[in-house]
Structure 1
Amino acid sequence: MEHAFVYKRWVGIFLLILILTEIIWSWKKDKKVYQVKETFSNLAILFGFQLSKFVFAGYQLAVLSLSAMLALFSLPRNLLVFLLTFIAVDFVYYWFHRLSHRWKPLWAFHLIHHSALSMNLTTAYRLNWFSALVSPLFFVPLALLGLPADFIVIAYSLNLLYQFFLHTEAIGKLGPIEGIIDTPSAHRVHHGSNPEYIDKNFGGVLLVWDRLFGTYQPETVRVNYGITTGFISHNPFRLVFQGFIDLFKGKLNAKG
């Protein structure tokens, strides 16, 4: 437990250094990718999301652990099985992410992430505080198939950590790996409200799923960030609950 805390602390320091570096880059290059109100809103949402991890950690582990107990067999714990788990988690994440854009109840959770009008590293953690209620359910089939529950958790955590580095305008296109793995360019497309960019590039780490299922789109024109219905608020509480309010009122539109 102590080693995990130390690891998380150093990861947090590293990510903070990257954010400060991006802020300096934006200021020196006059890129204006950081807006003061939105940045503070993102940080407030991040703080609430970190608290929610403590609230829902037991529930998440219970869902996957129970599923693992119901599995008919268990795969061995080795590097090959971890790699298999990582790929399987990325595949499930693709469909979870895609469904989160197409099905209104899930879009109510995900809307907050796409409501930002700027693209920077703090946007990565613009996450709904209650998303942990639904995300573990999508990975239950993997546990039932015998993949170790802790491998699933680690693979999903690495998947989300990788995506942190995609939320930036500081990195352009990356040549031959575009369309194979997710890149900042591909993820900028995903956050676009341009008609040609809506509901594209759902992959977490691999974009081969988007290639296979017809949702891949390279970055061709300047991205307009945000959702198609426009600006919501800088109030973190309103951003977290707006999707649920609109869903209850019957006014929620999925991104596409």
Structure 2
Amino acid sequence: MRQYAGPYKLWILAFLLVLVLAEIAWSWKNDKKVYDIKETFSNLSVFAGFQLSKILFTGYQLAVLGFFTRIAPFSLPRNSWVFLLTFITADFLYYWFHRISHSWKPLWAFHQVHHSAMHMNLTSAYRLNWLSAVISPIFFIPAALSGMPADFIVISYVLNLAYQFFLHTEVVGKMGIMEKIIDTPSSHRVHHGSNPIYIDKNFGGVLIIWDRLFKTYQPETEKPNYGLTTGFMSYNPFVLVFKGFVELFSGKMKLKS
């Protein structure tokens, strides 16, 4: 199977590159200015580091979840229905992981890099902390203790993040009835907005129903201003990834809200 992994990943990267180039062309043609050259290269550098971190930490994630799966009082069968259940459960747990990451400073230290982008475009989607894989499995332990297979949980989380790539764009407007069910580009633009009305809203990964259920939903009613409330951070990928930890331990950490 591994001999096919390389070409498979290359096809995925090629597909993502085509989408990014198409978005750049759209931005240029319509004078939207959603791309900044320095920020784009910064995003790509963070993305490269995140890809390396996935290689380094996948075994650790599986080990953590595998441990709690083994001590679970029962195991669910490996079939499509259980995978669907796992996917929905993982999305629910992601909502809380994401929401707490905005309200608790130690987790915001990991997450603020993602909100530091001053432009909303597809390359900003994987502006993710290289060490996030160290803490993310902890929030999915309830799924493992519920008997869901560890690899189902990991795959569900990976698919959740993959889906969110398509949310980081201004190309797509509102999507009608779908806005009530799934997270959309419009809903996610709100989440990235530093406008007072948009702070700490729309934490959902794939489904937006959790936000509606727990009263954190906000529709897009005004143009979002992207980035942190504290302003521009840096173009240096190492500063972007580690500044949150420096601020945390120096007592200078400020939440987006």
**TM over 0.5, shorter chain:** yes
SS at match of 1:196: helix
Query: Does the residue aligned with 2:206 lie in a helix, a strand or coil?
Result: coil
3-state secondary structure, aligned to 1:110: helix
Q: Which amino acid is 2:221 matched to? A: T
Letter in 2 for 1:254: L
**Structure 2 CA distance, aligned partners of 1:143 and 1:47?**
29
Measure, in 2, the Cα distance between the counterparts of 1:222 and 1:150. Answer: 40
- Counterpart CA distance in 1 for 2:143 and 2:3 is 29
Q: Structure 1 residue 53 and structure 2 residue 54: aligned?
A: yes
Alignment match, 2:21: 20
CA distance in 2 between partners of 1:44 and 1:4 (Å): 22
The CA distance in 2 between the partners of 1:50 and 1:126, in whole Å, is 11
Contact 1:179 1:186 in 2 (8 A): no
Give the drift of 1:106. Answer: 0.2
**Residue in 2 that maps onto 1:83:** 84
Contiguous gaps of at least 5 residues in structure 2: none
Q: SS at 2:197's partner residue?
A: coil
How high is the TM-score relative to the length of structure 2?
0.98
Counterpart in the other structure of 2:73: 72
Deviation, structure 1 residue 4: 3.5
The Cα of 1:2 is off from its aligned counterpart by 2.7
Matched, 1:3 2:4: yes
Deviation at 1:180, TM superposition (A): 1.4
- For residue 33 of structure 1, what is the aligned residue in structure 2? 34
- Structure 1 runs of 4+ aligned residues shifted over 4 Å read none
Post-superposition offset of 1:38:
0.3
Taking only aligned residues, the RMSD between alpha carbons, in angstroms, comes to 0.9
Equivalent AA in structure 1 for residue 222 of structure 2:
V
1:1-256 alignment to 2 at 5 Å? 1-256=2-257
1:121-156 Cα distance to aligned partner (Å, 9 max, x none): 000010001001000111111111100111111111
Partner amino acid, structure 1, of 2:62: L
- How far off its partner does 1:6 sit? 3.2
- Secondary structure (helix, strand or coil) at the match of 1:222 reads coil
Whichever residue aligns with residue 86 of structure 1, its letter is F
The sequence identity of aligned pairs, in percent, is: 69
Determine the C-alpha separation between the residues in 2 that align with 1:180 and 1:53: 30
| SS of residue matched to 1:132 | helix
Q: TM-score, normalised by structure 1?
A: 0.98
The 8 Å contact of residues 179 and 218 in structure 1, kept in 2 or not, is answered as no
Q: Are residues 5 and 65 of structure 1, via their aligned partners in 2, closer, same or farther at CA, if it must alter by over 3 Å? A: farther
Contact 1:100 1:110 in 2 (8 A): yes
Secondary structure of the structure 1 residue equivalent to 2:157: helix
Q: Distance in 2 between matches of 1:219 and 1:239?
A: 27
Please state how far the C-alpha of 1:255 moved relative to its aligned partner. 1.5
Q: Distance in 2 between matches of 1:237 and 1:78?
A: 42
Does the aligned pair in 2 maintain the 1:179–1:216 contact within 8 Å?
Answer: no
